[in-house]
Amino acid sequence: MGKRVFLFLATNMAILLVVGTILYFLNVAGIVPVGGAARLGALMFICLIWGMGGAFFSLAISRWVAKWSMGVELIQKGHPDRKLGAVYDMVERCCAQARIPMPEVGYYDSDEVNAFATGPSKKRSLVAVSTGLLDTMRKNEVEGVIAHEVAHIANGDMVTMTLLQGVINAFVLFFARLIAWAVRQALDSNLAWLVSFVVYIIMTILLSILGSMITSWFSRKREFGADAGGAEYAGREKMIAALRRLQVTQELVDTQSSPAFNSMKISGKSRFMSLFSTHPPLEKRIARLEGRMR
């Protein structure tokens, strides 16, 4: 689930900055005041509405953004290319096992060995694989990867992540505005509003980054659930084989091209602190499937 998350977070942050700017100037105009218990309660409610709205808007356009940013080409049933036609058939079989509607199926041109799933609902989702994955993995391993991605859709991971992100957005907007208001009150200058606005933007970005630690933690937890679902839909041995292959090819996974997508991929490794990693270590995921770890 890696690229999905990075793309979702990047889109969400962009929307949050726009929303935050609107809220800031509404406050300057006195429409959304800050200060006092009653006003703080009202501000928190407004931030929750706008924060949830921003998160769900990011979710609504996630499939389109994924196709546009990754250059995904859709695959239809009976595709003349043997590998691509097999991908469609695998997705179809796994969706029948999971009892969910058939998503869009696609591929993107990349040397990375990976795949992702995204979309606002089970009825409007997308599963895509990289050309690097098709060129590197055996058929049974590809099926394990696809089953993992279908499990993300069946488990509703993007929707639950969006709900979590909406709450995080609300706190980001609220505390960024509160800190900016405090800075403005402390300054005695004609430029106080400008300084507080700059502080507001900086705090929105910093708090969003901190909030992504929570989103990343949730993503790591959901990976185990998607692995279990993949084992159910394709078979435990295929799921383990896919993860073992990823251990060998992990250096080919491009986690920098679209950090927001890393949480929706089958694999992802963080070059930053482990708190920002969207995936647990592959050895732990394999151990969980083999029953060596609870």
Active site residue ranges: 149
Give the whole-angstrom CA distance, residue 212 versus residue 9: 8
CB 77 within 8 A of CB 93: no
Give the whole-angstrom CA distance, residue 244 versus residue 267: 11
CA distances 263 to 125, 187, 225, 268, Å, are 15, 42, 13, 7
Q: Retrieve residue 290's tokens.
A: 């083999």
CB 114 within 8 A of CB 253: yes
Q: Which of 90, 94, 97 is nearest to 75 (CA)?
A: 90
